[in-house]
Structure 1
Amino acid sequence: MPLVVARVLLVLLVLLGLPGRAQHRYWDADYDSLRLVLNRQQTDTTRLRTLVHLLDLTRLDEARERRYALGFLDELLVLNQRVQAFEQAPYRVLRQGAGFWEQGNHNEQALEAVKKAIYLFDQVGRPVPRLLVEVAPLYNRLNQIEERYAFYRDKLAYYRIKGSKENIAACYLSIGGYYRRKGAYNQAISNFLRAAELFRHFDQHYYITELKVAGANYAEWGNSTKALHYLRQSVSLANRYALRGGYGVDAYTLRSISRLYLVQQDTAAARRYATLSLAVRGRASMNEQEDRAYGLVQSGLVLLAMKKGARALPILQEAQRLADSLHLTLMGRRQGEFELTAAWARYYTILGDDGRAEQLWQQAYQEARASKLSVLRKNYLHELSSFYDARNKPGQAQQYSRAYMALADSMSEAQGAYHLAQYEGERMENAQSEQIANLRQAQAVQAVHLHRRNQLLLGALLTIVVVSGLGGLVYWQLRRNKRTLRQLRQTQNQLIASEKWAFVGELSAGIAHELQNPLSFMKKFAEVSSAMLEDMPRQSASSDRLEQEIVAGLKQNLQEISQHGVRASSIIKDMLDHSRAGTGQRAPTNVNSLVEEYLRLAYQGLQSQDKSFRAELVTVLDPALPLVSLVPQDMGRVLLNLFTNAFHAVRQRQRQTDAPYQPTVSIHTRSLPDGTVEIRVGDNGTGMPESVRARVFEPFFTTKSVGEGTGLGLSLSVDIIKAHGGTLQLETQQGQGTEFIVGLPA
């Protein structure tokens, strides 16, 4: 448990990017601990960061981690669709490749998809050393050894120019594997050690791995001293690495030491290390079942070297069972060659079953030949030559001995060619280094030019910003001036209107003063005369008919005089109201309250004249309406006039129709996006024809009966609304209804 806690804490430090060594341990983070951290994370960004880290560490050649990777990639693509943290095309293609890989029989499609994903990662500058290493097993399964070498050679040249040390290390690793299969141990070990030196700076696990691989190759090359040096160094570093949360000694290293001791004929030590390799568990094992199969083969070979065939039999049988279930072949993955067929050949040789032993040695040789493994071909030719020589078959022994010598000579020539190639490679490497230096110098010169250009661009950008700022200031000042000018014109119009109506008021006041008394006398005398006529004695039937007609006419004339006197008084009163429009004091006013108050007054006023009148009132008032600066008495006069007109319209339609009809007056208030407060007063009355609509706002124009209206109500309303900087619009349809729309600036 303490080790698990330490690993989780290390992973958290890496993910959080805290100062210290954790920043340099990205590639050394523990895979299983990262998965535990992922399970505890909730936010999209932290989960996305952890998923990227897990995929950087995933070994697609291992079945369990490949299945995890498919789930991780699916979640990563969904999260990045929401967060848009990075370009997800490389991960989308990698998902396709992992899917082909998982199917098992689509190696070519998997290889092409993974190579394309690496190309896309290169384009965005993201190092993917683990993914580069995973390409090699796919090439191995397709038996494309030369194509594999060409791929890593080209990639190495590209990454050396780009300076991507992580990817360079992965290329050296895989190129070393190519040379090892060719039997060119000098070049193989050189590349493995180059890779180790680079891995040492960023990935402790692969640094240890390449040291052990170099040691294993020294052992195959016959240099036991160097082999033990690197293998023991690998074990020592792995033990220290395990104490810091690393993987510990892996099974491959232990098997390599066992093979080395077996070559030295120290079977006791060889058996001890073979047994230790079978005990390795966890991520230090690439695949526990696969590692076990390799370890069983090595244990069987040690027992066969000790001439203990009976004890080796159950071990080889279990190895065969695992090989069949895991589909293991001679050309393994990164575990080395799986020599189970050769182990069975040795077993039957010890058992004395020459026919079976011969068949298996021939099969082992054909497998090595098909896999293009020169080293094993040479070893198996030597075994076949010895096998036939021991059984007194000189012809066959000489045949395989000659083939062995020819292959050894060709390998020696190839080794010489590789030596030359290595020399040429060093020359090419020096030329490339010079080319890279020249490129970097050119890049430095270009950087200077870019720096100067950026300075010029920055100066131009600052100039544009300053000019834009001045333009914005001018634009803001222009808008402010326009607004001020608009307010001045509004004020000017209000002053002109006030002056006009002040003059009208003075004139009206003079007229009212001069006419009020005569009008009062006219009304009074008309009323007295009407009363006197009413008090006259009733005329008898014999009275003069002409006299009766004269009396009736006098009564009618007196009523007309009284009515026109009342209308004249109303006109004078409305003219005085016009003269006072806009002269009151403005105050922030709740429009909804004003509407409710004057709607009630208008409705009650009409009901006082006609007790039978009823109408449906529909009010939809916006509760979020802002306060409006206005003269409440003036705006109340406007609303009262609009409500009264609406009630008169619905009452007129009610009187004109015999069909079922519900008089309805609706009032809506709302705040528009431009800051305007809108009041809509609608009715379902008679509506207006076009001839009436064209003149409805003219002073003294009315459609009401004589004595019911002066024709100044809407004219007065327009002036009041304009004085407040608002608008009054009309929408009407004859026979359907009318709606007045008042707009006031909040």
Structure 2
Amino acid sequence: MRWFFTVLAMWALCGPVQARARYWDADYDSLARTLPRQTTDSARLRTVVHLLDLRPTGVEADSLLGQLLTLNQRLQTLDAAPYRRLRAGLRMWRRNSPAALDSLKAAVGEFDRLERPMPWLLMGLVALYNQQNDMAARKKYYDEKLTFYRLRGAVENVTACYISQGAYYRRMGDYNRAINSTLRAADMALLFSNRLHINELIVTGGLYADWGNHDKAMHYLSRAQAMPEFRRVQGTNRVFTFLALSKLFLQQKQYPDALRLADSALAAHVADPGEQQMDRACALVQKAAVLLQMRKVDQALPLLHRAQQLDDSLDLPMSSGPGEFELDAAWAQYYAAQGNAREAEQHWLLAYQKATAARLNRLRPKYLQELAAFYDARGQLVEAQRYSRAYIALTDTFKAAQAAFNVAQYEAQRIEQAQNNQITTLRQAQAVQAERLRLRNWLLLGALLAVVLLSGLGVFIYWQLRLKRRALAQLRHTQSQLVQAEKMAFLGELTAGIAHELQNPLNFMKNFAEVSSGLVDNMNGEGPARSTGLQQEILSGLKQNLQQISQHGQRASSIIKGMLEHSRSGTSQRVPADLNALADESLTLAYQGLRTEDQAFEATLHKEFDPRMGTVGAVPQDLARVLVNLCTNALHAVRQRQRETRAGAAYVPTVAVSTRRPAGRTVEIRVKDNGTGMPAAVKARIFEPFFTTKPAGQGTGLGLSLSHDIITKGHGGTLTVESREGEGTEFLIVLPA
């Protein structure tokens, strides 16, 4: 009866383990073939999740994630956040984006939040860390994750962390800790995946082979091959097994067996196209290495060429799933066998440089030893000694961190290791406590210094604030004085300008009035007697004087009128205006006005109006005054240039007016002529009140000043001018649309 209950208890315990093993050891290809035959969305979703658990970073993962998100959108049975993160990271990975690693780590964090194991995703991150060649960050990440999962009892993820740690220590050449990690992974993998257990036994055998313990290597490799599940191990893991055995037999100089296993690696089926090329390249190099040891140099050459072609087209990494891709070392051996020392030297150096750059510490001693032997054989003793010393220093460093007799501590000293771990934990706790005390003291000292600094800073700020307030008060007082002085200066300048402009016509009026008074006195007999004809002449002079007085009075009136218009510019109400019609009418009006004064004058008028202009808010009478003024000035300029042009010279007076509505919130009006232009000194002052280049008595100097105020102040636009002396002038009006 006791036996019956014992068997029943063992069956109860083994049931969940077997179920987990069936899940994680499911055949991916068979599972993928069942997906199209699923009849319900829930069954399809479960199958897609299962496929993604087995190959979360495979070539089919993006398509599967798309199906998962679509199905889950209808069913709403999964938290889709980690799968969206996973999809984003995979797409970045395909684009070789550096951000892919952070995105996939975030996906792992999302799965951790759901307490969902993703061991193959964790192991897939190793490839990204290797691409970035950041070994320190890789080790730190998996150390932290291992602690996190061990506290939560996440067996699958703990196993994945041990596997990743083992690969790291193998890369660093620390075989002791590498084997410790792989054996731990193998033991824990028995709880959920027989395939993973076999894989880690194979890796352990390969590690012992590299470490030089051939008996242990053969023990673990043979043990893995003897297990029934080994026949179901496919892909890169199967290739790795054959390559590890081939290398082991090659070290033992059993060349036929080494060659046979290299051929088995070449013939192994690998479903993933990327992994297939990598695995094939490594197998080709291994077979070439066996043939070179067998002195079959000519047979090795085609294999090396094929491996080189794969490397050139795919830029294969030196370290990958099936092992190390030692193509340069194989080429060095080939050229050494051919007697080509120069090429052999270059390839040994290149192999060492690549191993150093990739931080493959397990290969560096091997290549240093080969370089030392190469230079020693050639009699280059200085170089041979240099590489020998480097080899000795590197191997001493590795041996200091490894146990004796090339047997891993995990295998022979589990109890002692547990005790050591406990002692280490206590020491770490003590160190942490001491560090906390030290940090607390530093924090107290820092807080005290911060209080002192803040107090001094407060006093300094208060003193600076008082100085700045006093300076600000003085600045405001000075500013008000400057503003008042500027106002008075402007008022004085304006008054002087007005007095100057009004003085001329008033002087003329005064002079003509005095002359007229004298003529009247002569007519009244106060002077000598005059004939009737002389009286008529006096009356005619009086008439002319009165006309001059009237003209100068009108001039004074126009000056005052212009000043009043200046003060009133921009005060009228804006209405929608057709700028094209306004520009057309203004040019025609200006031309007809000048033709009335000078009927002999003719000019060519160009009009180019944008049909998209439409209506624009403006004060039509003010804008028309501006356009007429600009067109009149342009016509005067071309008439003056025509008069100054020598007879027979080809010159056509031309004035062009155009409108444009560019993409944006403005409209443009241009008035362009090919007249006399203006020098820079005149151009700088044309918008000043009372500034004019016309002869005395022919202009008030207020036209362009008034136009500038109408455009800028009355319409919120700009009026600018471009001119070259002797070539012409162009005015540009820009108004808000």
TM-score under structure 1 normalisation?
A: 0.52
Q: What is aligned with 2:91?
A: 99
Residues 423 and 340 of structure 1, relative CA distance in 2, 3 Å threshold: farther
5 Å-filtered alignment, 1:504-653, equals: none
Q: Which residue of 1 aligns with 2:151?
A: 161
Relative to 1, partners in 2 of residues 1:322 and 1:226: Cα closer, same or farther, differing over 3 Å?
Answer: same
User: Letter of the aligned partner of 1:377 in structure 2?
Assistant: R
* Deviation of the 1:118 alpha carbon: 0.5
- The equivalences for 1:158-307 within 5 A come to 158-237=148-227, 239-242=228-231, 250-283=238-271, 287-307=275-295
Instruction: Give the superposition deviation at 1:222.
Output: 0.7
Instruction: Give the C-alpha shift of residue 335 in structure 1.
Output: 2.0
Q: In 1, are the aligned partners of 2:372 and 2:387 still within 8 Å (CA)?
A: yes
Measured in 2, the distance between the counterparts of 1:154 and 1:112 equals 16
Residue deviations 1:476-532 (CA, integer Å, cap 9, x gap): xxxxxxxxxxxxxxxxxxxxxxxxxxxxxxxxxxxxxxxxxxxxxxxxxxxxxxxxx
The answer to whether 1:144 aligns with 2:115 is no
- 1:205–1:246: 8 Å Cα contact kept in structure 2? no
Other-structure match for 1:387? 374
Q: CA contact under 8 A between 1:255 and 1:298: conserved in structure 2?
A: yes
Provide closer, same or farther for how the CA distance between residues 80 and 149 of structure 1 changes in structure 2, counting only shifts above 3 A. same
Aligned-partner residue type, residue 238 of structure 2:
D
Deviation at 1:285, TM superposition (A): 9.7
The one of 32, 38, 42 equivalent to 1:35 is: 32
CA 1:295–1:84: 2 relative to 1, 3 Å: same
- Pick the structure with greater CA Rg: 1
Take 2:73 and 2:178, find their aligned partners in 1: how far apart are those partners?
Answer: 44
Q: Of 386, 400, 415, which residue of structure 2 is paired with 1:413?
A: 400
Give the CA deviation at 1:88: 0.8
Letter in 2 for 1:29: A
Q: Share of identical aligned residues, percent?
A: 45
What secondary structure is seen at the aligned counterpart in 1 of 2:117? Answer: coil
| Alpha-carbon distance between aligned partners in 2 of 1:297 and 1:304, rounded to the nearest angstrom | 10
2:360 to 361, 373, 382: 373
Q: What SS does the aligned partner of 1:85 have?
A: coil
Residue of structure 1 equivalent to 2:69: 77
Distance 1:367 1:204 in 2: 36
2:32 and 2:44 map into 1 onto residues whose CA distance is 10
Supply the distance in 1 between the matched residues of 2:259 and 2:397 (Cα, whole angstroms): 35
- The aligned amino acid for 2:139 is Y
CA distance in 1, matches of 2:17, 2:104: 34
What do the CA deviations read for 1:237-289 (whole angstroms, capped 9, x no partner)?
A: 2x54437x987971110110000011111111111111111111145998222
Separation of aligned partners in 2, 1:248 and 1:157: 29
Amino acid at match of 1:74: G
Q: 1:422 to 1:414 in 2, by over 3 A?
A: farther
Please say if residues 25 and 194 of structure 2, whose CA atoms lie closer than 8 Å, have aligned partners that are also in contact. Answer: yes
Name the amino acid aligned to 1:389: D
Q: Deviations over 1:659-714 (max 9, x none)?
A: xxxxxxxxxxxxxxxxxxxxxxxxxxxxxxxxxxxxxxxxxxxxxxxxxxxxxxxx
Q: Are 2:322 and 1:335 aligned?
A: yes
User: Does the CA-based 8 Å contact 1:251-1:277 persist in structure 2?
Assistant: yes
Write the letter of the residue equivalent to 1:189: I
Structure 2 match to 1:310: 298
Q: Is the 8 A contact 1:96 1:113 kept in 2?
A: yes
Q: Give the letter for the 1:242 counterpart.
A: R
Equivalent-residue separation in structure 1 for 2:16 and 2:127 (angstroms): 37
Please state if 1:87 is matched with 2:79: yes
Is contact 1:251-1:284 (8 Å) kept? no
- Alignment partner, residue 349 of structure 1: 336
Equivalent residue letter for 2:190: R
Q: Distance in 2 between matches of 1:222 and 1:327?
A: 31
Matched, 1:57 2:54: yes
Worse overlay, 346-355 or 406-415: 406-415
Matches within 5 A, 1:106-125: 106=97, 108-125=98-115
Structure 1: give runs of 5+ residues left out of the alignment: 1-17, 436-746
Cα offset, 1:363, TM superposition: 0.5
Give the CA RMSD over aligned residues.
2.9
* Alpha-carbon displacement from aligned partner over 1:51-76 (angstroms, at most 9, x marks no partner): 1000000152xxxx32x100110111
Q: Matched residues in 2 for 1:416 and 1:246: separation?
A: 34
Q: Which moved more, 1:277-286 or 1:337-346?
A: 277-286
| Structure 1 pair 284–190 and aligned structure 2 pair: CA distance change class (3 A) | farther
Between the two proteins, the alignment pairs up a number of residues equal to 408
Partner of 2:545: none
Instruction: Give distance in 2, aligned partners of 1:365 and 1:248.
Output: 26
Contact 2:235 2:268 in 1 (8 A): no
CA contact (8 A) 2:355 2:364 kept: yes
CA deviations over 1:31-55 (Å, ceiling 9, x no partner): 1111111111132111111110000
Compared CA separation, residues 217 and 284, structure 1 to 2 (3 A): farther
Report the Cα offset of residue 214 of structure 1: 0.2
Q: Which amino acid aligns with 1:346?
A: Q
Give, in whole Å, the separation in 1 of the partners of 2:425 and 2:400.
29
SS in 2 for 1:307: coil
Give CA-to-partner distance per residue, 1:81-135, whole Å, 9 cap, x none.
11111111000000001111112x21x2111111111111001110011111111
Q: 1:426 to 1:179 in 2, by over 3 A?
A: farther
Aligned partner letter, 2:80: Q
The answer to whether the 8 A contact 1:248-1:284 is kept is no
Paired with 2:387 and 2:259, the residues of 1 have a C-alpha distance of 31
Q: Please, which runs of 5 or more residues in structure 2 have no aligned partner?
A: 1-14, 428-737
CA distance in 2, matches of 1:147, 1:89: 25
Does the Cα contact within 8 Å between 1:129 and 1:166 map onto a contact in 2? yes
Q: Describe the superposition over 1:713-741 as per-residue Cα deviations: whole angstroms up to 9, x where unpaired.
A: xxxxxxxxxxxxxxxxxxxxxxxxxxxxx
Map Cα deviations across residues 316-339 of structure 1 (whole Å, 9 max, x no partner): 101111222232121x22222110
- Determine the structure 2 residue equivalent to 1:131: 121
Distance 1:286 1:265, change over 3 A: farther
> 2: CA distance between counterparts of 1:430 and 1:376?
34
Deviation of 1:371 (Å): 1.1
**1:426, distance to aligned residue in structure 2 (A):** 4.5
SS in 2 for 1:400: helix
Cα pair 2:173 2:363 within 8 Å, conserved? no
Preserved contact between residue 263 and residue 287 of structure 2 (Cα < 8 Å): yes
| Aligned CA distance change for structure 1 residues 302 and 36 (closer, same or farther; 3 Å) | same
Measure how far apart 1:432 and its partner are: 10
Is residue 137–residue 334 contact of structure 1 (8 Å, CA) maintained in 2? no
- One-letter code of the match for 1:399? R
Give the 3 Å change call, closer, same or farther, for CA 135–185 of structure 1 in structure 2.
same
| Displacement after TM superposition at 1:410 (Å) | 1.8
Instruction: State the Cα distance separating 1:229 from its structure 2 match.
Output: 0.6
Change in CA separation of 1:146 and 1:75 when aligned onto 2, cut-off 3 Å: same
TM-score (structure 2 length as normaliser): 0.52
Cα deviation, residue 427, structure 1: 5.5
- Per-residue deviation at 1:297? 0.5
- The separation in 1 between residues aligned to 2:373 and 2:294, in whole angstroms, is 19
Query: How far, CA to CA, are the matches of 1:357 and 1:287 in structure 2?
Result: 29
Partner of 1:455: none
Q: Which residue of 2 aligns with 1:403?
A: 390
| Contact preservation (8 Å) 2:329, 2:351 | yes
Query: Match of 1:661?
Result: none
Residues of 2 paired with 1:366 and 1:423: CA distance?
41
Maintained 8 Å contact 1:267/1:306? yes
Provide the C-alpha distance between the structure 2 equivalents of 1:334 and 1:174, rounded to a whole number of angstroms. 12
